[in-house]
């Protein structure tokens, strides 16, 4: 770990993972300065950052990563770029793919161009395991750094394109980069359209928990603070021009069993689970082999899924003033998307 102050440009820092990362980084490296560039779309929320908003080494810049002038100004004298900014909800990518291409592909390209022009020393790109496609439910295979890309949703395809652009800028122009492909994150400040925060907040209100299809699809779940530690490990110790997969589990769990576990931890009945029509092109299974980051950098998850869920449930129970206005503002979308009306 270095003790010299650096300037980081964090894109999408008002979103779920980005805001958790900013708080983690400033706690861990208080000598560093962070510039947070965020367009404040529906999923961006400055309330995520009240604990750091008044720090002298934190600066917020409202702007879109597709805007060249904004990005060029934000990139001046930056040592490290940490690129979170993305449209990330698969359901929304099915109904409106164009914004995913604009932000995730063209926005990433603009950041890469500006990083080259500003002689940024390290470009870290946050990606997803969804670029690898879907595993069969009975398969013992796992995604690794060598897995062939096979995206199946507009969201995954846009992130795959962004990954390829980052690597191309490394090969063609000599930009020093690292990439982390992470599994499904959960934890504090998670926008309540995603499965875990939607389930927790609905359960608090004794509302139905929507479950796509038969509920037997499998995901790897990563507690957001563990993800932040992984990113820091890669930035501080990782090999340049290298990709690291980050996952949070050793055992598989279906979406149905996940919701059942959440309800058990909240002392709520399983009858709250309501099966709804499946998502088009729903990926069956994600399973992440995170042994490379473990063996090379010594990173591993610090919590089990149950421990992480307990932390997350407590946070949503204690921060209803944060999520209730967000859900109310999106009530029409939730009712249409998940076919679940409030009782």
Residue 129 among the catalytic residues: yes
Q: Rounded to the nearest 5°, which phi and psi values hold at 177?
A: -135, 165
Question: Within 13 A of 9's CA, how many CA atoms are on the CB side?
Answer: 31
CA 257 to chain centre: 22
- Cβ atoms of 180 and 230 within 8 Å: the answer is yes
Cβ atoms of 22 and 82 within 8 Å: the answer is no
E-assigned strands of 129-241?
177-182, 184-186, 209-212, 221-223
State the DSSP H helix or E strand holding residue 126, giving kind and residue range, or none if neither: strand 122-128
Set 32, 129, 163, 225: catalytic member: 129
Contact 178, 125 (CB under 8 A): yes
**Separation between Cα atoms, residue 220 and residue 208, nearest integer Å:** 23
Among candidate residues 38, 58, 155, 177, the one labeled active-site is 155
Strand partners, 242: 178
* Nearest partner of 179 among 194, 192, 168, 166, judged by Cα: 166
DSSP string, 104-156: IIIIHHHHHHHHHHTT-SEEEEEEEGGGG----TT----B-TTPPP---SHHH
Largest CA distance in the chain: 57
Look up residue 256 and give its two tokens.
């149905």
Catalytic residue selected from 32, 38, 87, 130: 130
Asked if 289 contacts 225 with a C-beta cutoff of 8 angstroms, the reply is: no
71 vs 140: CA distance, rounded Å:
43
Spatial contact of 97 and 24, defined as CB atoms under 8 Å apart: no
Is position 130 annotated as part of the catalytic site?
A: yes
Distance CA 197, CA 312 (A): 8
- The set of catalytic residues is 129-130, 155
């Amino acid at each position: 770990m270095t003790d010299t102050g650096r300037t980081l440009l964090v894109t999408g820092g008002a979103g779920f993972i980005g805001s958790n990362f900013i708080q983690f980084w400033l706690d861990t490296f208080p000598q560093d300065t962070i510039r947070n560039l965020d367009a404040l779309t529906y999923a961006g929320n400055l309330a995520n950052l009240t604990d750091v908003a008044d720090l002298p080494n934190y600066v917020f810049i409202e702007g879109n990563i597709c805007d060249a002038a904004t990005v060029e100004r934000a990139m001046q004298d930056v040592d490290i770029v940490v690129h979170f900014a993305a449209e990330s909800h698969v359901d929304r990518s099915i109904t409106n793919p164009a914004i995913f291409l604009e932000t995730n592909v063209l926005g990433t390209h603009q950041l890469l161009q500006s990083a080259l022009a500003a002689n940024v020393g390290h470009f870290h790109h946050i990606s997803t395991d969804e670029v690898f496609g879907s595993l069969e439910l009975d398969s013992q295979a796992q995604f690794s750094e060598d897995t062939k890309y096979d995206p199946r949703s507009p969201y995954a395809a846009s992130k795959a394109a962004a990954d390829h652009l980052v690597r191309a800028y490394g090969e063609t122009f000599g930009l020093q980069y690292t990439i982390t492909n992470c599994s499904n994150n959960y934890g504090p400040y998670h926008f309540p359209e995603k499965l875990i925060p939607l389930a927790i907040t609905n359960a608090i209100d004794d509302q139905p928990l929507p479950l796509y299809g038969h509920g037997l699809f499998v995901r790897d779940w990563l507690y957001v603070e563990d993800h932040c530690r992984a990113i820091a490990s890669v930035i501080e110790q990782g090999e340049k021009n290298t990709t690291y997969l980050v996952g949070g589990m050793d055992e598989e769990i279906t979406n149905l069993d996940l919701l059942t576990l959440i309800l058990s931890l909240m002392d709520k009945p399983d009858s709250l689970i309501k099966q709804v029509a499946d998502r088009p092109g729903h990926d069956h299974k994600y399973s992440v082999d995170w042994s490379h980051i473990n063996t090379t950098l010594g990173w591993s998850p610090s919590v089990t899924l149950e421990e992480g869920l307990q932390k997350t449930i407590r946070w949503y129970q204690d921060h209803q003033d944060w999520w209730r206005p967000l859900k109310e503002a999106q009530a029409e979308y939730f009712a249409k998307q998940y076919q679940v009306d409030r009782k």
